[in-house]
Structure 1
Amino acid sequence: MSYFRMSLRKLLTRLHLILGLGTGLLFFVIALSGAIYTWEPEFSRLAYHQAVEAQDKPVVSIADLRNSLEKTFPEGDFRTALYRDPESSIEVLLYAPGTYYLAQLNPYSAELIHLQDMNKGWINYLKKLHRNLLLGELGREIVHWVTLLAIPLLVSGLVIWWPATGRPTKDKFFLKTTGSAKKRNYDLHSVLGFYVSWVLIFALITGIYWGFSPVKETIKLLSGENTIAWETPRSEVPARPVENDGILDQLIADYRNTFPKSEVRIGIPHSEEDPIHLSVIDPGKGLTAINHYYHDQYSGERIEGVFRNGLSSEISTFNAINGMVYEIHFGSILGLPGRILVCMAAMVAASLPITGLLVWLGKRKSKRV
């Protein structure tokens, strides 16, 4: 039995080495970009100039936003408008051929503050670096497989960390400030690797959920999502055309008064049967707490039914899991402390291929001597 355990340990050590050398550089890029991207909301607020000076006056109308954008960016197709707190811009989503834009407008004057092509800019390149290494679909597949291979890399590392005989002693849990540089580097790899493993496992599992459709489809099947008969909200088309800008403005005003501490996004109808789609977002409660409402674009009456995106209290099991995956991956499920924890774990994870390579090179050098 002892011989079997030693053989298994040697096998896992070999596996850890091969996987580490084979995926180390890619894992470094993915982990480091993920750590930085954890702070995307804060970066976006600065880079996209979302902060404005609050004024004691009503916010501008949808018509004002549309007129401002038609003058400054006529090729943009107005899709949604996001109303936030009094010190934040109104964010308008615009479609354009081959891309989409986010426009930041002053909520009190409708002045265009910033227009961002969401396929360009360093924040978007950072997101693509994390998701596909800036290599498109090929890079996306590479990221998915590196994420999958990181699971046995993580497990084998934990097995190697555990002593071959007995239980781990106190020195296995702490970094040493004395000893040779070689020993300190080994501790950086071993001790820090042990601690971040318990955070990384969640990031890796959620990454696998996104990367491999059979995983998502299996959860969809087990949750009963495929058996739900979702309805589609539709407006009743009147005999005569009706101008709906007034209805849009009234709905925005009503929802902002009803939910004063929430952000409200309104979707602009683009076909005769499209409803007006309003999303009420509590920034502190995550994706699964978003409430979706639908109104007839001609009468303003609320449309009720069994909708895929509906009230948070009626969310399906699969949609709840789907929303939680993103929040777990970036730590936002625990608020700011969770994001800090994931960022730090990802930074340490990015260091592991470097310290691991130095450990391997040190052992090779010792064997030559």
Structure 2
Amino acid sequence: MRSFNTRQVFRLIHLFIGLTSGLIVFIEAVTGAIWVFNEEISSLLKEDITVEMKDAPKLSPTEAVAFAKNELPNRAVHGILYSNEAKPIEVIFYEAEPEFYYSIYLDPYSGKVIDRKNHKDSFFSFVLDGHLHLWLPPKIGTPIVSYGTLLFLFSIITGIVLWWPKNRKGRRQRLKLDWKPSTRWRRKNFDLHTVLGFYVSALALVFAITGLVMALNWFYVLFYSSIGGDKETAFIIPKNTSEKIPSENQLKPIDQLPDFLEKQYPTAKDYEIHFPYADSVSIYVEVSYQDGIYSDADYLFFDQYTLEDVSTPSVYGKYQDASFQDHLIRMNYDIHVGAILGLPTKVLAFLTSLLIATLPITGLVIYLGRKKKQKQRISTY
């Protein structure tokens, strides 16, 4: 009976994982590379909508929803986005199943509809659907992508073990593409897989781990607790602190929020107000400060009857109250898409994703070449 040493076991594991998850990794890497610049490309393809700023009160959330509901009367409102810049109010409609994601853009003062957008009817929506679900129904595609990414994580680890040579001389040889005119294409393919694979392995680990934090709740909880996090990992909208209900002729407390937020957060880019989904829960507001960056956002909660601040036990609260562990979790998406330090890290994420996409291809070529050699050896006996 044939015995296997440790390296051979790792090679078999690496091979099995590569054959199992190779196509998933290729699709994830290519769609991920495209998604990196989705905001920049989208803004180039469509002219930014602006409005004339006036010294007049803007529409309240209740008024904005009423105007938008004239366009989509039977759809659920997710939130109302106000901007501190010369931009329209965006009323966002969202339903999970079947997924419906649409925005109505209103003049902030008159309520006139300026524009409409079906977020599901775009090239980048198609790309994101592939990245999240492989263009399959979410119940089928999501677990395939999630556990395919987990396999990719083990593939990176086993690949590093296989790459690591026994001596320093061999290590130097595997750090560069040392090709000569006589080097055969199979050797070049092997070097592309091993050398480039090693150089992208660190960032590939980052992409895999940040992807798994978003994809698998048990991995998210395990990762957060392993770095010393002690808050609730779920996004929690807390309950009200009061039970007082205002009279019908009184201005609704939620309609006072736009003016309050504009004064309290003058440096904010925009703030998204969400109507409470029940009488017992607070109003949730997300305050953003930068385009394409979400890690420094403030997640605020207000009693829907008194507008008193309500604290949340979740990681997602005020930015100033977040611990190092909370900051790391909140940076997860920005790190995953390369947005964390702006354009330089986006370019790095784009190039790394393209290189990752080559690994399943070069790995498959290596496997098929070895299978062919084995058949040739058997045929010579």
Q: Output the TM-score relative to the length of structure 1.
A: 0.81
Point out the structure with the larger helix share.
Answer: 1
CA distance in 2, matches of 1:302, 1:86: 26
The residue aligned with 2:12 is: 14
The residue aligned with 2:231 is: 225
The residue aligned with 2:359 is: 352
1:200 aligned onto 2:200: no
Report the CA distance shift for 1:232/1:91 in structure 2 as closer, same or farther (over 3 A): same
Q: Contact 1:233/1:305 (CA < 8 Å) preserved in 2?
A: no
Q: Contact 1:242/1:298 (CA < 8 Å) preserved in 2?
A: no
Where 1:187 maps in the other structure, the secondary structure is helix
CA distance in 1, matches of 2:249, 2:169: 76
Q: Contact 2:90/2:103 (CA < 8 Å) preserved in 1?
A: yes
CA-to-partner distance for each residue in 1:20-41, whole Å, 9 max, x for gaps? 2232122211221222222333
CA distance in 2, matches of 1:347, 1:366: 30
Identity across the alignment (%): 25
Q: Contact 2:119/2:125 (CA < 8 Å) preserved in 1?
A: no
The residue aligned with 1:267 is: 274
Q: Structure 1 stretch 355-364 or stretch 267-276: which is displaced more?
A: 267-276
1:289 aligned onto 2:286: no
The residue aligned with 1:155 is: 157
CA distance in 2, matches of 1:124, 1:285: 16
1:182 aligned onto 2:181: no
CA distance in 2, matches of 1:283, 1:244: 31
Letter in 2 for 1:102: Y
Report the CA distance shift for 1:230/1:89 in structure 2 as closer, same or farther (over 3 A): closer
Q: Contact 1:225/1:318 (CA < 8 Å) preserved in 2?
A: no
1:32 aligned onto 2:36: no
Offset, 1:353: 0.9
Report the CA distance shift for 1:235/1:75 in structure 2 as closer, same or farther (over 3 A): farther
Where 1:289 maps in the other structure, the secondary structure is coil
Letter in 2 for 1:74: P
CA distance in 2, matches of 1:98, 1:152: 34
After superposition, where does 1:19-168 map in structure 2 within 5 Å?
A: 19-43=17-41, 45=43, 49=46, 51-57=48-54, 60-62=58-60, 65-84=64-83, 86=85, 88-96=87-95, 98-108=98-108, 110=111, 111-116=113-118, 118=120, 121-135=122-136, 136-168=138-170
Q: Contact 2:212/2:220 (CA < 8 Å) preserved in 1?
A: no
RMSD between aligned alpha carbons? 3.6
Where 1:264 maps in the other structure, the secondary structure is strand
Report the CA distance shift for 1:218/1:27 in structure 2 as closer, same or farther (over 3 A): closer
Letter in 2 for 1:339: K
Count of residue pairs the alignment pairs up: 361
Q: Contact 1:50/1:88 (CA < 8 Å) preserved in 2?
A: no
Offset, 1:197: 0.4
Report the CA distance shift for 1:251/1:230 in structure 2 as closer, same or farther (over 3 A): closer
Unaligned 5+ segments in structure 1 are none
CA distance in 2, matches of 1:204, 1:193: 14
Report the CA distance shift for 1:75/1:187 in structure 2 as closer, same or farther (over 3 A): same
Letter in 1 for 2:289: D
Report the CA distance shift for 1:320/1:242 in structure 2 as closer, same or farther (over 3 A): farther
Offset, 1:350: 0.9
Report the CA distance shift for 1:67/1:239 in structure 2 as closer, same or farther (over 3 A): closer
Give the counterpart of 1:328 among 327, 331, 335: 335
Where 2:286 maps in the other structure, the secondary structure is strand
Offset, 1:133: 1.7
Offset, 1:315: 3.0
Q: Contact 2:150/2:212 (CA < 8 Å) preserved in 1?
A: yes
Where 1:232 maps in the other structure, the secondary structure is coil
CA distance in 2, matches of 1:103, 1:56: 21
Report the CA distance shift for 1:224/1:298 in structure 2 as closer, same or farther (over 3 A): closer
Q: Contact 1:233/1:294 (CA < 8 Å) preserved in 2?
A: no
Unaligned 5+ segments in structure 2 are none
Offset, 1:269: 4.0
Letter in 1 for 2:176: F
CA distance in 1, matches of 2:47, 2:265: 21
Letter in 2 for 1:197: S
Q: Structure 1 stretch 339-348 or stretch 60-69: which is displaced more?
A: 60-69
Q: Contact 2:232/2:313 (CA < 8 Å) preserved in 1?
A: no
Letter in 1 for 2:284: H
Letter in 2 for 1:141: P
